[in-house]
Amino acid sequence: MQENKLPLADNEIEINEETIKIKPVKLKYIIDGFYGSYVLLKKMGLIKLFSYSDGKLLLDKFLISVFDNEQNIIDKFCEELNEIKMKELIDIVQKVNELEDEEDSKNV
Protein backbone atom coordinates (compact mmCIF):
# COMPACT_ATOMS: atom_id res chain seq x y z
CA MET A 1 0.00 0.00 0.00
CA GLN A 2 1.39 3.40 -0.99
CA GLU A 3 1.87 5.94 1.79
CA ASN A 4 0.47 9.42 1.15
CA LYS A 5 3.07 12.05 1.97
CA LEU A 6 2.10 15.49 3.12
CA PRO A 7 3.61 18.40 1.21
CA LEU A 8 6.62 19.99 2.85
CA ALA A 9 6.16 23.18 4.86
CA ASP A 10 7.96 26.36 3.76
CA ASN A 11 10.71 25.71 6.32
CA GLU A 12 11.31 22.04 5.50
CA ILE A 13 13.65 20.20 3.15
CA GLU A 14 13.79 16.50 2.39
CA ILE A 15 17.15 14.79 2.83
CA ASN A 16 17.40 11.05 2.09
CA GLU A 17 13.61 10.70 2.60
CA GLU A 18 13.86 12.45 5.98
CA THR A 19 12.18 15.81 6.55
CA ILE A 20 14.44 18.42 8.19
CA LYS A 21 13.08 21.69 9.57
CA ILE A 22 15.19 24.75 8.81
CA LYS A 23 15.30 27.24 11.68
CA PRO A 24 16.49 30.85 11.69
CA VAL A 25 20.29 31.17 11.82
CA LYS A 26 21.66 31.96 15.27
CA LEU A 27 23.50 35.21 15.96
CA LYS A 28 26.82 33.45 16.60
CA TYR A 29 26.81 32.20 12.98
CA ILE A 30 25.74 35.57 11.60
CA ILE A 31 28.74 37.14 13.37
CA ASP A 32 30.96 34.39 11.93
CA GLY A 33 30.10 35.32 8.35
CA PHE A 34 26.94 33.39 7.48
CA TYR A 35 25.54 36.17 5.30
CA GLY A 36 28.63 36.39 3.11
CA SER A 37 28.52 32.65 2.44
CA TYR A 38 24.80 32.86 1.73
CA VAL A 39 25.23 35.70 -0.79
CA LEU A 40 28.08 33.94 -2.61
CA LEU A 41 26.15 30.68 -2.87
CA LYS A 42 23.02 32.48 -4.05
CA LYS A 43 24.84 34.54 -6.69
CA MET A 44 27.42 32.02 -7.90
CA GLY A 45 25.84 28.66 -7.28
CA LEU A 46 27.55 25.59 -5.95
CA ILE A 47 29.55 24.57 -9.02
CA LYS A 48 31.08 28.00 -9.64
CA LEU A 49 31.86 28.41 -5.94
CA PHE A 50 34.03 25.28 -6.02
CA SER A 51 36.21 26.82 -8.72
CA TYR A 52 37.74 28.93 -5.92
CA SER A 53 40.23 27.52 -3.43
CA ASP A 54 38.08 28.49 -0.42
CA GLY A 55 34.79 27.27 -1.94
CA LYS A 56 34.61 24.18 0.30
CA LEU A 57 35.30 26.29 3.38
CA LEU A 58 32.49 28.71 2.48
CA LEU A 59 30.07 25.84 1.88
CA ASP A 60 31.02 24.27 5.21
CA LYS A 61 30.48 27.56 7.08
CA PHE A 62 27.09 27.99 5.41
CA LEU A 63 25.93 24.45 6.23
CA ILE A 64 27.18 24.69 9.82
CA SER A 65 25.18 27.91 10.22
CA VAL A 66 22.00 26.55 8.66
CA PHE A 67 22.02 23.20 10.45
CA ASP A 68 23.40 24.59 13.75
CA ASN A 69 26.53 22.43 13.51
CA GLU A 70 24.57 19.15 13.62
CA GLN A 71 27.19 17.10 11.80
CA ASN A 72 24.93 14.10 11.13
CA ILE A 73 22.44 16.30 9.24
CA ILE A 74 25.26 18.07 7.37
CA ASP A 75 26.72 14.70 6.34
CA LYS A 76 23.32 13.45 5.12
CA PHE A 77 22.79 16.66 3.16
CA CYS A 78 26.23 16.49 1.56
CA GLU A 79 25.59 12.92 0.40
CA GLU A 80 22.60 14.15 -1.61
CA LEU A 81 24.02 17.56 -2.51
CA ASN A 82 23.68 18.89 -6.03
CA GLU A 83 22.99 22.30 -7.55
CA ILE A 84 19.20 21.85 -7.45
CA LYS A 85 19.16 20.77 -3.79
CA MET A 86 21.43 23.71 -2.89
CA LYS A 87 19.10 26.19 -4.61
CA GLU A 88 16.17 24.66 -2.73
CA LEU A 89 18.02 25.07 0.58
CA ILE A 90 19.02 28.66 -0.22
CA ASP A 91 15.40 29.55 -1.01
CA ILE A 92 14.22 28.07 2.30
CA VAL A 93 17.00 29.81 4.24
CA GLN A 94 16.06 33.12 2.58
CA LYS A 95 12.40 32.74 3.63
CA VAL A 96 13.10 31.52 7.17
CA ASN A 97 15.62 34.30 7.88
CA GLU A 98 13.59 36.96 6.04
CA LEU A 99 16.55 37.87 3.84
CA GLU A 100 15.90 40.29 1.00
CA ASP A 101 17.37 40.00 -2.45
CA GLU A 102 19.90 42.77 -3.06
CA GLU A 103 17.83 43.92 -6.04
CA ASP A 104 14.82 44.41 -3.72
CA SER A 105 16.81 46.53 -1.26
CA LYS A 106 18.28 48.74 -4.03
CA ASN A 107 14.81 49.83 -5.10
CA VAL A 108 13.90 51.22 -1.67
pLDDT, one tens digit per residue, over 44-70 is: 999 999 999 999 999 999 999 999 999
DSSP code for 89? H
Quote the CA–CA distance of 2 and 25 in Å, as a whole number.
36
How many distinct structural domains can be found in the chain? Answer: 1
Domain extent, residue 71, equals 13-98
Instruction: With respect to residue 4, please indicate whether it lies within any of the assigned structural domains.
Output: no
Nearest to residue 11, comparing CAs of 75, 94, 68? 94
- The pTM (predicted TM-score) of the whole model is 0.86
Instruction: With respect to residue 47, please indicate whether it lies within any of the assigned structural domains.
Output: yes
pLDDT band (50, 70, 90) for residue 1: very low
Quote the CA–CA distance of 6 and 40 in Å, as a whole number.
32
Instruction: With respect to residue 33, please indicate whether it lies within any of the assigned structural domains.
Output: yes
Instruction: With respect to residue 6, please indicate whether it lies within any of the assigned structural domains.
Output: no
Instruction: With respect to residue 108, please indicate whether it lies within any of the assigned structural domains.
Output: no
Instruction: With respect to residue 3, please indicate whether it lies within any of the assigned structural domains.
Output: no
Instruction: With respect to residue 17, please indicate whether it lies within any of the assigned structural domains.
Output: yes
Instruction: With respect to residue 5, please indicate whether it lies within any of the assigned structural domains.
Output: no
Contacts of 97 (CB under 8 A, 6+ apart): 24, 25
